[in-house]
Amino acid sequence: MTTALLAPLARTTDIAITHRPARQLVAEPRTAGLGTRAARLVGRWLLRLVVTVAVLAFGVLAVGPHVLDYRTMTMLTGSMSPVIDPGDVTIVTPLPVAEVAEGMIIAYHIPIDDHRLVSHRVVSVEHGADGSVTVETKGDANDAVDPWKATLQGDTAYEVRAVVPEIGNAIEALRTPVVSQALVYGAPALLAGWLLLSIWRPAKVEQDDDTEGDRA
């Protein structure tokens, strides 16, 4: 009787000793996987941030001017630095020509040469008897007043209301052939991969949970 009772106790002890190292071995990969999970989480949020910023930029620059009362322009020179640097995008809104005043930064076509569009600060305003408005302007970074007087055409002028730094450079980069081709073919591929990962990830988590339950 004594021998029969001792034998099962010895087997139970052997099983317990064998089982404990197995739990320790399983815990190590789980701890090591925390870094991978954290990296995936950071990657997902970075991707979402990039997509959100891209959507907002597209809305402000491409959609907004068609549905709201403003326009966007890219600054090409440093004549208004540091207020507006080359590559910055300005947001301009209309106002009546009669309300143009000194100190405003307005966008208008110069009256000489190629009649290019400039955004400079108004330094003087003259109101004609016929209702015309003539302005003198100056770039903040220039030493002298612009060498012309411009009579603003029409009833509407455009005042610079906001500046979006550097985004004009990004727009120009997107227009290059290499980047354009990469966006045409790469963006859909990235979107498809993101959707596949979103579909696949919950199944993987469920499988991990089932495996942990079996181990427990």
Mean pLDDT over 196-213 rounds to 56
Q: What is the mean pLDDT of the chain?
A: 76
Residue 5 confidence class, pLDDT cut points 50, 70, 90: very low
Say whether 104 sits in a helix, a strand or coil: coil
Flag the least confident range among 44-48, 71-75, 175-179: 175-179
Specify the pairing of strand 89-96 against strand 71-74.
Answer: antiparallel
pLDDT at position 111 is 93
Residue 34 confidence class, pLDDT cut points 50, 70, 90: confident
pLDDT at position 197 is 73
| pLDDT, tens only, 96-155 | 999 999 999 999 999 998 999 999 999 999 999 988 999 999 999 999 999 999 999 888
Say whether 74 sits in a helix, a strand or coil: strand
pLDDT at position 184 is 62
Q: What are residue 136's DSSP bridge partners?
A: 124
Count other Cβ atoms within 10 Å, centred on residue 120: 25
Q: Please report how many Cα atoms fall inside a 13 Å half-sphere around the Cα of residue 96, on the Cβ side.
A: 3
Residue pair 150/40 in contact by the 8 Å Cβ criterion: no
d(CA 27, CA 20): 11
- Number of helical (H) and strand (E) elements in the chain, helices listed first: 4, 7
d(CA 169, CA 132): 37
Specify the pairing of strand 105-109 against strand 156-164.
Answer: antiparallel
d(CA 136, CA 148): 7
Residue 46 confidence class, pLDDT cut points 50, 70, 90: confident
Residue 61 confidence class, pLDDT cut points 50, 70, 90: low
Q: What percent of the chain has pLDDT over 90?
A: 36
Count other Cβ atoms within 10 Å, centred on residue 106: 22
Count other Cβ atoms within 10 Å, centred on residue 84: 24
Say whether 162 sits in a helix, a strand or coil: strand
d(CA 110, CA 151): 9
